[in-house]
Amino acid sequence: MRRGVLAAVAAAVLLTGCTAEGGVSPPAPTASAGASAPSAGASPDVTEASAPSAGASAASAGAPQEPALLVTDFGADTVTFVDPAEGPVGSVRVGTAPYGLAVGEDGRAWVATAEGVAVVDTRTRQRLAVVPYGTEGLGEPAHGEYRGGGMGIALSPDGKQVYVGVNVPGGNGTLEVIDTRTLKVTGTADTGRRPFDVDVSRDGRHVYATDHDSFDVTVVDTATLDTRRIEVAPYGTQGGLGSWLKPHYTAVRPSDGRLLLPFEGEKLVVVDPATGRSTVEPMTADTHQHGVTVTADGTLLVVGTGAVDPSDGEGPSLTVRRPDSREKVIPLDGPHEDVAVSADARTAYVTGGFTREGYWDGITVVDLDSGETRRLPAGERPLGIGILSPPR
């Protein structure tokens, strides 16, 4: 249905995929930009951060407290801590153009920036270190969707390794493995172009890099770092780098380990990573789709960014897809990029930082039972998002 329209749109955008710099953001409390270059290595690196406020951590007696959030400020060089009731409560400088993040049970956050992987103590709100990439050809640290450096990032189930997808401008990317104890890169594997997202199998034996510009997923054996690539292109690969119909983010289904990749609010590609075979299931949102997450019971949440061609498609939304394939589509106000869900699976947090034009400086908080939404200021062009565990 969409192939002809999107091919025409793509032809008008030079080597895009999903990009445009700029955008109009409403006034909101934002993190400070312009961080100095981080030092490499594992030595502690204390940076400017707001101290935890008493009001941000206080909860009324007997009332449930929403979890604290952490977002990457793709429009700045910081991550911002967000109280879902009050908004931003502090920021930490991490490095140029932070993209994805992963939060460990030990309270450390791992942030993919253009300069390296920043390590942040989320309880003291300090940057501890920056682990430089081993991949060559990244260019000078820069902002923008096509900048070199880290994109998707994930932790191993045991917390001993971090896996980061590294974009190499103009070529194929890499997956770098970081030892979380020594803060050293211990291995590198080749991936496709622009590894937007990185996910790990539940048993930790495989890592999946979603390669946006090469229409595939790279499967990496964590023991050997051997790789194989699975094409995921339900609309074909017509248009190449100029196509909008590429994979963006992947969720690993808890029940069977299959990979779930949504396209255009029309097709959900279900990939068996062991065999490379895939099936396609219908979706209903009719919108260009980006960020995904999945709950323990297999409910899939998918961010819709809006129609590529406004005359043929629906606006931004959050799709809530139950394990039996029933879908509820919740409209959102303005573009969004990524999503996280609370532990009780009742609330979703959707970032407004979007990799294309029209981003805004905030998060939409979505009540998944009622479908009600509210907008919350959060950082500067917030892109990646993580939920912070309460202090033990």
Q: Let me know how many helices (H) and strands (E) the chain has, helices first.
A: 2, 28
Q: Which of 2-6, 50-54, 165-169, 225-229 has the lowest mean pLDDT?
A: 50-54
Asked whether the predicted pLDDT for residue 342 surpasses 80, the reply is yes
279 CB neighbour count, 10 Å cutoff? 10
pLDDT per residue over 180-203, tens digit each?
A: 999 999 999 999 999 999 999 999
State pTM to two decimals. Answer: 0.87
Asked whether the predicted pLDDT for residue 226 surpasses 90, the reply is yes
Overall average pLDDT of the 138-166 stretch: 97
pLDDT band at 140 (very low <50, low <70, confident <90, very high): very high
pLDDT of 220 reads 98
Give the 3-state secondary structure of residue 83. Answer: strand
Reduced DSSP (H G I as helix, E B as strand, rest coil) percent helix, strand, coil of the chain, to 5 = 5, 40, 55
pLDDT of 357 reads 75
Q: So where are the chain's domains?
A: 3-20+68-388
Nearest-CA neighbor of 378 among 73, 76, 162, 97? 73
pLDDT per residue over 4-49, tens digit each?
A: 444 444 444 333 446 433 333 333 333 333 333 333 333 334 334 4
Give the 3-state secondary structure of residue 161. Answer: strand
The CA distance from 146 to 151, in Å, is 10
pLDDT of 308 reads 84
pLDDT of 67 reads 81
pLDDT of 16 reads 43
pLDDT band at 66 (very low <50, low <70, confident <90, very high): confident
- In the beta sheet, which residues pair with residue 268? 262, 281
Q: What one-letter code names the amino acid at 306?
A: G
The CA distance from 296 to 317, in Å, is 22
Strands (E), 342-381: 347-351, 362-367, 373-377
Strands 382-388 and 68-73: antiparallel
Strands 117-121 and 373-377: unpaired
Buried b (16+ CB within 10 A) or exposed e, 37-54: ebeeeeeebebebbebee
Q: Are 213 and 192 in contact (CB under 8 A)?
A: yes
pLDDT per residue over 88-106, tens digit each?
A: 999 999 999 999 999 999 9
pLDDT per residue over 245-274, tens digit each?
A: 999 999 999 999 999 999 999 999 999 999
Buried b (16+ CB within 10 A) or exposed e, 352-382: bbbbbebbbbbbbbbebeeeebebbbbbbbb
Overall average pLDDT of the 154-173 stretch: 98
> Into which CATH architecture does domain 3-20+68-388 fall?
7 Propeller (2.130)
Segments in the chain forming alpha helices (H): 3-11, 54-57
Give the 3-state secondary structure of residue 10. Answer: helix
pLDDT band at 62 (very low <50, low <70, confident <90, very high): very low
Burial of 29 (0-12, 13-18, 19+ CB in 10 A): middle
Residue entry with tokens 């981080």? 38
Residue 319 vs residues 88, 208, 265, 300, 315: alpha-carbon distances, Å: 26, 23, 8, 8, 12
Nearest-CA neighbor of 335 among 314, 370, 29? 314
pLDDT greater at residue 348 or residue 14: 348
Nearest-CA neighbor of 273 among 319, 209, 359? 209
